[in-house]
Amino acid sequence: MFSVLDDAFEKKYAVPQFNMNGTIWLDTILKTAEECQAPVIVGTTDRIIEELGGFKLLVQTFNTKKEELKITVPAILHLDHGQSIESCFRAIDAGYDSVMFDGSNLSIEENIEKTKKVVDYAKEKEVTVEGEVGSVGGTEDGVYSDMLYADIDECLRLVNETGINSLAPALGSVHGKYRGEPNLGFNEMKDLRKTTSVPFVLHGASGISNEDLKKAISYGHAKINYNTELNIAWSNALRKVLNENPELYAPMEIIKPSKEAMAEVIKNIFKRTGAYQKKK
């Protein structure tokens, strides 16, 4: 994970994280990454880990899929929004490459204390850690939360006092669909960039324009997270095929157009983030 983000940070592109909501997603993400020769991060949100089969099964499935599909691009399994230290430890023990500890609802003191525990544990196993300051609002996995802008001093404290490998500063992006136009805090991004050289992570990237994306990458966002754009493509294609073919019940025929629709979105995102053809 480290070298993947470092390369992106240095060369001013970003590696997308695509969240998986089942093996259909995993299969499509890995195949498209290989086709595009792009490094990729597969995110599994802590909130739906049990539905996805649990940490151990996810690691086994991820590694087996990579082998079976003969994936040669860097492909990383990442715990998205780890809800507790214990969850992060379990993911690390199971063999995840990278974890995020989400201390966004904690005081900065508690966020630092818990993130540091995760970093210390992760380091021994060469697993990378992402931390968050402020709160990316919006709806994710059916749960709504308010948006809270990251405080720059708190961001610096989290970076310096924990040794995280990447920082997700909440600066105006939201999970799920935007109500109105996204309004990212570029001034804050610029100020924050001057104070630290840690790669940034942009959550809630679905719905952000190419222009804003480019700006965010220019300020050192080396990892950009997508879930909603894929899910919209998947659900629209699924609805269409079922509406147009009310007699159809063969699962593989039903899911084929939604996989193709997601692959198209993924390919487009690799191009927009600059990860396309960036295999090292």
Please check whether residue 79 is in contact with residue 113, taking contact to mean a CB–CB distance below 8 angstroms: no
Q: What is the DSSP string of 74-117?
A: -EEEEEEEE-SHHHHHHHHHHT-SEEEE--TTS-HHHHHHHHHH
Least Å distance between CB 186 and ligand 13P? Answer: 18
Choice between 228 and 273, CB closer to ligand 13P: 228
Least Å distance between CB 104 and ligand 13P? Answer: 11
> Which residue's structure tokens are 């500063």?
169
Least Å distance between CB 226 and ligand 13P? Answer: 5
169 scored as a contact of ligand 13P (CB under 6 A): no
206 scored as a contact of ligand 13P (CB under 6 A): yes
Choice between 38 and 42, CB closer to ligand 13P: 42
Least Å distance between CB 173 and ligand 13P? Answer: 7
227 scored as a contact of ligand 13P (CB under 6 A): yes
Is position 80 annotated as part of the catalytic site?
yes
Q: How many CB atoms lie within 10 A of CB 260?
A: 12
77 scored as a contact of ligand 13P (CB under 6 A): no
Q: Quick one: tokens of 33? A: 């990454």
Give long-range contacts, CB 8 A cutoff, 24+ apart: 193-197.
193/219, 193/220, 195/152, 195/156, 196/155, 196/156, 196/159, 196/160, 196/167
Parallel, antiparallel, or unpaired: how do β-strands 15-19 and 166-169 relate? unpaired
* Sign of the dihedral defined by the CA atoms of residues 248, 252, 258, 264, in that order: negative
Residue from 204, 212, 222, 261 touching ligand 13P (CB under 6 A): that is 204
226 scored as a contact of ligand 13P (CB under 6 A): yes
Choice between 65 and 203, CB closer to ligand 13P: 203
Which residues here bind ligand 13P, judged by CB under 6 A? Answer: 19, 80, 140, 175-176, 203-206, 225-229
